[in-house]
């Protein structure tokens, strides 16, 4: 912060002496926005009135405190993509030196800034680009001081200078290139991942986001990173107890968040990134949109020197260890080839004025992985089954269509194991190409503009049905032949214009456009008539066949075409008044989304075992399905939304030792709407209604009371800045999950998308099951928004102590917590009501018959029109969470060839619902929608203990070129497992719930090393063949809690050995040898969670396979990568 009277000036360089020549920048008028919002909204009263009152009081106080600071002499503070330097100049007696001149020169671009100290000796150099600087301080009658300094993204560095009277020495050179690394002016928690760490640390797959796991309070596992549209490439993380979707990504200060998956939209090449900052708690009021963390990425810019980099990274299975399950089966490592190659070029267009950077990276991937499946045995294919009721083998007639399906699509067993009887190694193939171009131009000394364009294309073939693997659920994977073809294209444009109004004010305007296209198609597009189905309407792909006990197969049910085009605008104004450094502004996001899914004519056949009384597979052999459904129409869901945020931030320097960070942000999320009126909502009172057609009301009422105060402090406990106590509290609002909108387009009753087959069933009749004359419209399950939907938010708070151990080392220990409120959850409000007793004929009033269950649903009991046969997934904001943690960080910045970042987090996150659309394998659905109290448990992303360390070390051998230039770099990660929920796999509650949990009983469950073993020697329940002690009674739910068991932990060490060889003065060749999972530790994925499956409690996959992209990321066997880089 800069006290009144301090001046900041631009300057040029004297060509003869090389010294900076200061000159004043012309003054210009300033402006402030008087009203952020002109409309007044009425707010619906809430039950948490005391919380609302506290929020309003704190918000009003901070707003008044900030507003009264306006006016007077002003200057700037650091921008979101830049940095600032502030401090004081004094003599040896501690007396301030007024009129001292401070010059900051960026050697790479020859740009310079200057400041003059005020009467208190204070100065400030704002809006500096990140990178290396040469700082020079001059004052009359004093010896000048020179110092080199490295500034990092969003850093407000404080550097104080002490001058000695002029004497024998004309200048003093201060050793050290970093600013003091304690944070004496901010309560924000976060760590900058530096360029050397990004480019030199071993990263399997060259995904820089993996380095986010090095930061405390960041829970990152392959299962958490297996997001849609790009697998493990695009995040996400669970940060400070918030959900994995609650992240905001900025690239060059412009929003880059995928509005569907909430992951990173544009995957920037490692060689195009300068550095990025992980903000994990208590960001300033400038930061919003999501309630979790923020990842602020800054790309490289050009300089006055030309630079060129050419690289090739190569992996293949010749040097890899086999996967754990391949090793168990005695097989060699699966086929694997991964080539990642590219080039970066940068330099000047106009010296000292205009600079450019261009980058391209390509990837060609062929990744095999072991997959266990359950398929019919040879005897079962021939109709021979064991009847558990009689204990005898029986011969069943084989339906001709079933026989044809088995012959054409279903393999025979090839292995005997506890994980399945068929082992395949299907190969995932992928092509990824992405490029980026950036131009920076200095218009005048007051005006800087830059623009960046990013484009990527990818084609990926996932070889198996990924509904059970890609999203880390416990559903058994299919076998090869029913994969997914995915194509994506992303374009991202960012532009910024920064203008200085004299020496006191800077305005920063940014614009962004983010366009994304996704196309998913099933691999299998055969006509069902090929295997004997008759009367089939236009359909491509075999119908989905499901029979518990064997792997589900068939063409993917939900091919998707998705695209969005989002616009982003932001503007901020920075200035200072006295001891107050202020910044105010706002941002607007215009979200435009379109999604279409379902292919007309596809169908689903479910076999239950009710016909044969033997097993579901036996029913398939007979050709008698329990239910047959055909999709009739695609559904489309175009929607729009505007999301806006306005803020004011005041960093108030009360004294030299104490700084207060005061902020207030207002978030406005407009109600999501469809321009084509495709989105239809539902309530029991109104039934179905379509906004814009049936009513002028929106899908929901909207929430306009979203004021988010921020209050933090930084206190230099010892006065020298080496020990700092920091803490604070803030409210951060989230957005409504946009995937919800797609579900509402299924509600349109005028065009049913499902038809139910009522064709006669029996041996030999499967082929005619889709006769059009026997298909009747099926009332579809509905989805509904709570019309009183509120905006989710989180309260973040922390208290930490930082201690500087040297010029490059710092240790930090503290408490970090958060409370999540009004979180999105989903529950079935049409859950059937269990009615005890019998009717007059002695028949139970409640049975497992689907017709009986539907007759007991509220929609039937209330005589709802139209009739709803199944579930009504009701999305509301009624859940909450809490997170508490102890974190410790040791950070040694690069010095003497060594950098080390080590973190430890001991935390616990508790909630009463998982994210309904998260990527953690838990849909958030309760076993009993009428008793949410039983759902309170550990969050699905909860990790109790996590230790990570990343190190880069330049070996100190300098004697000759053979021993010179060696580096050793490594990453070590150790964490405990994630929790998971055991499901019974049956419905004794007779309510239609698919998520009934078992009871708990002593000696039944044995949790060991992340896997759960079921004691089947106990007396069994005849219906479920499970220990009777854990099977709930009729009409009851299980007593075992949600997320009771803990899955396998994660242990991994990656190592890279680099050799830099110089050829001449400017050419350098880097050879790399990298080992991932150095000790070949087996890291298993979450186990199967359904007790009805033979694999319950066991992990049939490693974590890399569960993450969707085998061999990439983490969790796989030991692999070796070779690389070569040419750097000019």
- Per-residue HEC secondary structure of 102-123 comes to EEEEECCCCEEEEEECCCCCEE
> Does the pLDDT of residue 154 top 90, yes or no?
no
- What is the pLDDT averaged over residues 351-374? 92
Whole-number pLDDT of residue 869? 60
Instruction: Give the dihedral of Cα atoms 546, 1088, 223, 819; nearest 10 deg.
Output: 110
Q: Which residues of the chain are in CATH 2.60.40.1120 domains?
A: 7-28+49-174
CA distance 920 to 224: 6
* Chain segment 932-972, per-residue pLDDT in tens: 889 999 999 999 999 999 999 999 887 777 778 899 999 99
Question: Does 452 have pLDDT greater than 50?
Answer: yes
pLDDT of residue 78: 60
* pLDDT score of 354: 95
The tens digit of pLDDT for each residue in 1077-1112 reads 999 999 988 888 888 877 788 887 888 776 667 778
CA–CA separation, 145 and 862 (whole Å)? 83
Q: Which CATH class is domain 7-28+49-174?
A: mainly beta
| CA distances to 308, 540, 555, 631, 632 from 598, in Å | 47, 11, 11, 7, 8
Question: Considering only 587-596, 658-667, 933-942, which range has the smallest mean pLDDT?
Answer: 587-596
How many H helices and E strands in the chain? 10, 58
Q: Give the strand order in the sheet containing 189-193.
A: 189-193, 273-281, 294-299, 248-251, 254-255
When pLDDT is cut at 50, 70 and 90, the band that residue 868 belongs to is low
Which band of pLDDT confidence, cut at 50, 70 and 90, is reported for residue 503? Answer: low
CA 377, 381, 384, 388 torsion-angle sign? positive
User: In this model, does residue 867 exceed pLDDT 70?
Assistant: no
Answer left, alpha or beta for residue 965, where phi above 0 means left and psi between -120 and 50 means alpha.
left
What would you report as the CA-atom Rg of the chain, rounded to the nearest whole angstrom?
32
The ranges of the chain annotated as CATH 2.40.170.20 are 357-831+871-1127
Q: What is the mean pLDDT of residues 41-68?
A: 42
Whole-number pLDDT of residue 818 = 97
pLDDT band for 5, please (50, 70, 90 cuts). very low
What pLDDT, on the 0 to 100 scale, is given for residue 92?
87
The mean pLDDT of 76-88, rounded to a whole number, is 76
Structural contact between residues 712 and 732, judged by C-beta atoms closer than 8 angstroms: no
pLDDT tier, 462 (very low <50, low <70, confident <90, very high otherwise):
confident
Q: Which residue has the higher pLDDT, 332 or 533?
A: 533
Superfamily holding 357-831+871-1127: TonB-dependent receptor, beta-barrel domain (2.40.170.20)
- Residues 1060 and 967: their CA atoms lie apart, in Å, by 8
Long-range contacts formed by 377-380: CB under 8 A, 24+ apart: 377/412, 377/413, 377/421, 378/412, 378/413, 380/617, 380/618, 380/621
Q: What is the pLDDT of residue 8?
A: 42
- Cα angle, residue 910 at apex, residues 906 and 914 outer, rounded to 5°: 120
Q: Please provide residue 199's backbone torsions phi and psi, each rounded to the nearest 5 degrees.
A: -90, -25
User: What residues pair up with 785 in beta bridges, in sequence order?
Assistant: 875
Mean pLDDT over 442-447 rounds to: 84
Cα(1097)–Cα(1085) distance, integer angstroms? 11
1121 Cβ contact list (under 8 Å, min separation 6): 202, 204, 313, 314, 315, 1072, 1073, 1074, 1075, 1076
Q: Residue 125: its pLDDT value, please?
A: 82
> Nearest 5°: phi and psi at 1106?
-65, -25
Neighbours of 348 (CB within 10 A): 17
Task: Report how far apart, in Å, the C-alpha atoms of 809 and of each of 116, 149, 181, 837 are.
Answer: 31, 16, 8, 72
> What pLDDT does residue 29 have?
32
Confidence category of residue 80, pLDDT binned at 50, 70, 90: confident
For residue 1096, list its beta bridge partners: 1088
SS3 853: helix
Higher pLDDT, 177 or 889: 889
| pTM summary value | 0.87
Q: What is the pLDDT of residue 742?
A: 66
d(CA 898, CA 950): 11
Q: What is the per-residue pLDDT for 918? A: 66
Confidence of residue 411 (pLDDT cuts 50, 70, 90): very high
Mean per-residue pLDDT for 614-633? 85
3-state secondary structure of 199: helix
pLDDT averaged over every residue in the chain? 83
Read off the pLDDT band of 706 (50, 70, 90). Answer: very high
Say yes or no to pLDDT of 458 above 80.
Answer: yes
Could you report the per-residue pLDDT of 102-138, keeping only the tens digit for each?
Answer: 998 889 888 888 888 888 888 888 778 888 899 999 9
pLDDT (0 to 100) of residue 308: 95
Residue 44 has pLDDT above 90, yes or no: no
- C-alpha to C-alpha distance for 396 and 380, rounded to whole angstroms: 9
The beta strands (E) that lie in 443-483 are given as 447-462
Q: Of residues 698 and 269, which shows the higher confidence score? A: 269
Does position 601 have pLDDT exceeding 90, yes or no? no
Q: What was the pLDDT predicted at 22?
A: 42
80 CB-near residues (< 8 Å, 6+ apart):
154, 250, 253, 286, 296, 508, 572
């Amino acid at each position: 912060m800069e006290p009144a009277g301090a001046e900041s000036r631009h300057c040029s360089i004297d060509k003869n002496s090389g010294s900076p020549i200061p000159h004043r920048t012309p003054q210009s008028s300033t402006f402030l926005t008087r009203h952020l919002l002109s409309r007044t909204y009425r707010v619906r009263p809430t039950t948490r009135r005391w919380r609302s009152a506290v929020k309003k009081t704190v918000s009003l106080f901070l707003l008044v405190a900030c507003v009264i600071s306006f006016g007077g002499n002003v200057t700037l503070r650091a921008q979101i993509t830049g940095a600032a330097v502030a401090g004081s100049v004094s003599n040896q007696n501690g007396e301030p030196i007024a009129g001292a001149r401070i010059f900051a020169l960026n050697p790479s671009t020859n740009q310079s800034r200057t400041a003059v100290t005020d009467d208190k000796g204070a100065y400030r150099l704002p809006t500096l680009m990140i990178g290396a600087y040469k700082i020079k301080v001059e004052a009359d009658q004093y010896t000048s001081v020179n110092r080199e300094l490295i500034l990092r993204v969003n850093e407000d560095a404080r550097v104080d200078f002490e001058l000695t009277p002029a004497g024998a020495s004309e200048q003093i050179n201060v050793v050290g290139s970093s600013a003091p690394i304690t944070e004496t002016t901010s309560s924000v928690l976060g760590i900058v991942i530096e360029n050397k760490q990004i480019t030199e640390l071993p990263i399997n797959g060259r995904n820089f986001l993996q380095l986010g796991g090095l930061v405390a309070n960041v829970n990152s596992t392959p299962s958490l990173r297996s997001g849609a549209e790009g697998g493990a490439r695009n995040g996400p993380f669970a940060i400070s107890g918030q959900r994995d979707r609650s992240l905001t990504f900025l690239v060059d200060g412009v929003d880059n968040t995928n509005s569907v998956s909430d992951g990173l939209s544009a995957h920037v090449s490692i060689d195009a990134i300068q550095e990025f900052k992980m903000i994990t708690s208590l960001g300033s009021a400038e930061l919003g949109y999501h309630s979790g963390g923020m990842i602020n990425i800054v790309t490289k810019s050009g300089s006055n020197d030309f630079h060129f980099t050419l690289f090739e990274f190569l992996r293949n299975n010749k040097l890899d260890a086999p996967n754990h399950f391949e090793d168990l089966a005695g097989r060699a490592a699966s086929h694997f080839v991964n080539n990642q190659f590219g080039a970066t070029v940068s330099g000047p267009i106009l010296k000292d004025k205009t600079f450019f950077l261009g980058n391209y990276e390509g990837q060609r991937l062929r990744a095999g992985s072991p997959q266990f499946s359950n398929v019919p045995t040879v005897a079962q294919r021939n109709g021979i089954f064991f009847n558990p009721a009689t204990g005898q083998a029986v011969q069943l007639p084989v339906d001709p269509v079933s026989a044809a399906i088995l012959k054409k699509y279903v393999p025979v067993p090839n292995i005997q194991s506890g994980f399945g009887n068929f082992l395949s190694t299907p190969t995932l193939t992928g092509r990824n190409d992405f490029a980026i171009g950036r131009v920076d131009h200095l218009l005048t000394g007051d005006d800087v503009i830059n623009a960046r364009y990013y484009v990527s294309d990818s084609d990926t073939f996932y070889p198996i049905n990924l509904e059970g693997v890609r999203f880390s659920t416990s559903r058994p994977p299919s076998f090869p032949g029913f994969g997914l073809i995915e194509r994506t294209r992303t374009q991202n444009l960012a532009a910024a214009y920064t203008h200085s109004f004299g020496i006191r004010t800077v305005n920063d305007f940014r614009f962004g456009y983010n366009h994304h296209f996704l196309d998913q198609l099933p691999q299998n597009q055969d006509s069902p008539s090929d295997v004997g189905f008759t009367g089939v309407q236009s359909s491509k792909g075999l119908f989905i066949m499901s029979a518990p006990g064997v792997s589900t197969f068939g063409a993917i049910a939900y091919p998707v075409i998705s695209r969005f085009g989002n616009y982003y605008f932001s503007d901020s104004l920075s200035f200072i008044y006295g001891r107050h450094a202020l910044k105010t502004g706002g941002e607007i996001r215009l979200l435009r989304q379109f999604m279409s899914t379902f292919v007309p004519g596809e169908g689903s056949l479910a076999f239950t075992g009710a016909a044969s009384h033997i097993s579901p597979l036996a029913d398939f052999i007979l050709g008698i399905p329990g239910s047959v459904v055909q999709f009739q129409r695609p559904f489309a869901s175009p929607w729009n939304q505007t999301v806006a945020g306005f803020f004011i931030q005041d960093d108030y320097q009360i004294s030299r030792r104490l700084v207060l960070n005061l902020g207030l942000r207002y978030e406005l999320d407009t109600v999501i709407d469809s321009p084509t009126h495709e989105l239809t909502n539902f309530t029991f009172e109104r039934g179905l209604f379509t906004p814009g057609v049936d009513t002028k009301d929106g899908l929901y009422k909207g929430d306009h009371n979203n004021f988010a105060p921020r209050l933090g402090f930084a206190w230099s406990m010892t006065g020298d800045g080496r020990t700092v106590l920091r803490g604070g509290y803030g409210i951060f609002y989230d957005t409504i999950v946009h995937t919800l909108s797609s579900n509402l387009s299924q509600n349109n009753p005028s065009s049913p998308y499902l038809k139910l087959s009522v064709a006669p069933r029996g041996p030999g009749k499967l082929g005619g099951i889709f006769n059009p004359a026997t298909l009747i419209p099926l009332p579809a399950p509905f989805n509904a928004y709570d019309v009183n939907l509120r905006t989710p938010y989180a309260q973040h708070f922390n208290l930490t102590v930082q201690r500087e151990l040297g010029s490059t080392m710092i240790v930090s220990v503290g408490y970090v917590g958060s409370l999540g409120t009004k979180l999105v959850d989903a529950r079935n409000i049409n859950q059937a009501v269990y009615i005890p007793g019998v009717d007059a004929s002695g028949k139970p009033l409640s049975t497992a018959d689907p017709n009986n269950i539907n007759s007991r649903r509220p929609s039937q009991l209330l005589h709802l029109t139209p009739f709803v046969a199944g579930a009504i997934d009701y999305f509301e904001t009624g859940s909450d969470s809490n997170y508490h943690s102890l974190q410790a960080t040791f950070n040694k910045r690069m010095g003497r060839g060594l950098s080390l970042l080590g973190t430890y987090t001991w935390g616990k996150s508790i909630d009463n619902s998982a994210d309904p659309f998260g990527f953690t394998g838990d849909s958030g659905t309760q076993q009993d929608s009428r008793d949410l109290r039983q759902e309170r448990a550990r969050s699905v992303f909860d990790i109790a203990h996590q230790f990570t360390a990343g190190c880069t070390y330049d070996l100190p051998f300098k004697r000759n070129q053979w021993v010179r230039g060696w580096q050793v770099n490594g990453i070590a990660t150790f964490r405990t497992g994630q929790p998971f929920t055991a499901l019974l796999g049956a419905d004794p509650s007779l309510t239609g719930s698919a998520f009934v949990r078992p009871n708990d009983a002593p000696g039944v469950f044995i949790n060991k090393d992340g896997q759960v073993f079921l004691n089947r020697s106990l007396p069994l329940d005849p219906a479920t063949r499970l220990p009777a002690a854990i099977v709930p009674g009729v009409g009851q739910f299980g007593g075992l809690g949600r997320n009771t068991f803990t899955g396998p932990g994660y242990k991994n060490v990656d190592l890279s050995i680099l050799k830099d060889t110089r050829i001449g003065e400017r050419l350098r060749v880097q050879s790399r040898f990298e080992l991932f999972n150095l000790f070949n530790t087996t890291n298993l994925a979450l186990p199967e969670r359904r007790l009805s499956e033979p694999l319950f409690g066991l992990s049939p996959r490693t974590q890399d396979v569960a993450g969707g992209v085998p061999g990439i990321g983490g969790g796989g066997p030991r692999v070796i990568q070779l690389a070569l880089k040419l750097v000019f």
